[in-house]
Amino acid sequence: MPPSRRSFLASAVATAAATNFARSLHAQFLNAPRHGLPGTLQERYAKLDATIAQPVFKRELFKDPVIIDSIELLRHKKEYLCRVRSKDGHEGISVSNSALMAVLYPLFVKHIAPFYIGKDARDLEFLIPESTVYENNYKAQGLAIWIPIATIEFALLDMFGKMSNRPIGLLISDKIYNRSISVYQANGERGISAEETIEHLQRDVAISNAKAIKFKLGGRMSHEETPKGRSEKLIPLVRKTFGDQMIISADANGSYTPAQAIPIGKLMQEYKYAFFEEPVPFDWYEETRQVADALDIPIAGGEQEPSTHNFRWLIANGALSIVQQDMFYFGGMVRCMQVARMAHAFGKQCIPHISASGLGYVYMMHFISAIPNSGPYHEFKEFNNDLPWHCPTSTLRSDSNGVIQVPTGPGFGVDIDPDFLKKAIVVSS
């Protein structure tokens, strides 16, 4: 066979193999039903209600009461941490979303933490909703109450994990489903050119070795995009730059109306994108479903959603294929697990949003370890290097394959430098 003919055939085979590989990876995001969900709407609601009625926290692991003696909010420099102690001397630590706790600490200290004192921590699933009624906290529905509640829950779970010598995943699930996490590299920039965005993605992927990427579309919450036309230029350019084997998705952060989002979604479909995140404002539920009905690309959302009941609507009505509840914004792992289970009941995936500060990525990894319907890639954000931590079972960094190992030690498996804790002051007001 002439060399030119041999080279042509080899190239054709390689191209076909690469295309099939890309299709197989892309298909991992296409297994969730978007159209024609089974049963009537009321039957779907009944199925979801039965799903979230099942307990999450493994209370049966702890035979004796665990009475909460103290909850302290600690601050050192810009970092906020929570330390809980039981009357019999057990202790748990969590790191809050410090950027937001700097604003929310009065609610934590005055309106949230006092409710839990003297309660049996084993009743965690009952205590969480009850704490929203205490002092009429439900009137501050959203980040204002859920970040403080999540911060306390994480510390309690850390305490229970240390008491039982179990990682957090085994306190909210019967088994560990994922012992490692494949990451996607996110770029959160707007207001720069398509070419600059490409350069920054290439720089960051070289560090994380991620096999998937996500970038921003539009102007955020219906604001005008700058430079104009950036998204339409960027969608094909990212695919052409990174090739068919890269998994690509994009996040509009509610930038569009349905009439604007649908053409953008069709362009993403043309270039084999994995999912389209928040095409319209997050609380436009009917419009989210309208966009989902018009497209084949999976629609993802839920980062800003504070309500389990609203997730119920979004899932039962086929508005989302991928749920993205945030560990902090949604109030902790118990509530996030309820949403993941509802999604799983209809074959939908869970790819949680993560808060960038503190140990947000660690909390997300433990959660992902405990669910069977996690997506194939999850967001990668570096930790705040101002927080001195030690993890004996994981580097908490992505390896050459873009994979991070989930810590396996008791609790969250991450220790904060004792000297750092000693220097922290107790926030009292």
Same domain for 351 and 209: yes
Q: Is residue 31 part of a domain?
A: no
Q: Is residue 183 part of a domain?
A: yes
From CA 253, how far away is CA 282, in angstroms rounded?
8
Same domain for 186 and 145: no
User: Any idea what DSSP says for residue 120?
Assistant: B
Q: Is residue 210 part of a domain?
A: yes
Task: Count CB-CB contacts under 10 A for residue 355.
Answer: 24
The amino acid that residue 179 corresponds to is R
Structural domain including 88 reads 59-165+421-426
Q: With 0-12 CB in 10 A as exposed, 13-18 as middle and 19+ as buried, what is 177? A: middle
Distance between start and end Cα atoms, the chain:
82
Q: Is the dihedral of CA 300, 321, 349, 185 positive or negative?
A: negative
Q: With 0-12 CB in 10 A as exposed, 13-18 as middle and 19+ as buried, what is 42? A: exposed
Same domain for 178 and 124: no
pTM here? 0.92
Same domain for 263 and 153: no
Question: pLDDT at position 380, please?
Answer: 75
Same domain for 203 and 186: yes
DSSP sequence for 30-41 = S-S--SS-SS-H
DSSP sequence for 351-402 = --B--SSTTHHHHHHHHHHT-TTB-S-EEE----TTS-EE-TT---S--TTS
Same domain for 200 and 108: no
Same domain for 402 and 259: yes
Low-confidence ranges of the chain (pLDDT < 50): 7-19, 21-22
Q: Is residue 1 part of a domain?
A: no
Task: Count CB-CB contacts under 10 A for residue 196.
Answer: 12
Give the torsion through C-alpha atoms of 41, 47, 53, 59, to 10 deg.
-150
Supply the CATH number for residue 262's domain.
3.20.20.120
Same domain for 160 and 225: no
Question: pLDDT at position 35, please?
Answer: 61
Q: Per the structure, how many domains does the chain have?
A: 2
Residue at token pair 């911060």 = 151
Question: pLDDT at position 8, please?
Answer: 44
Question: pLDDT at position 206, please?
Answer: 94
Question: pLDDT at position 386, please?
Answer: 78
pLDDT per position as a tens digit, 273-315: 999 999 999 999 999 999 999 999 999 999 999 999 999 999 9
pLDDT per position as a tens digit, 32-82: 555 668 899 999 999 999 999 999 999 999 999 999 999 999 999 999 999
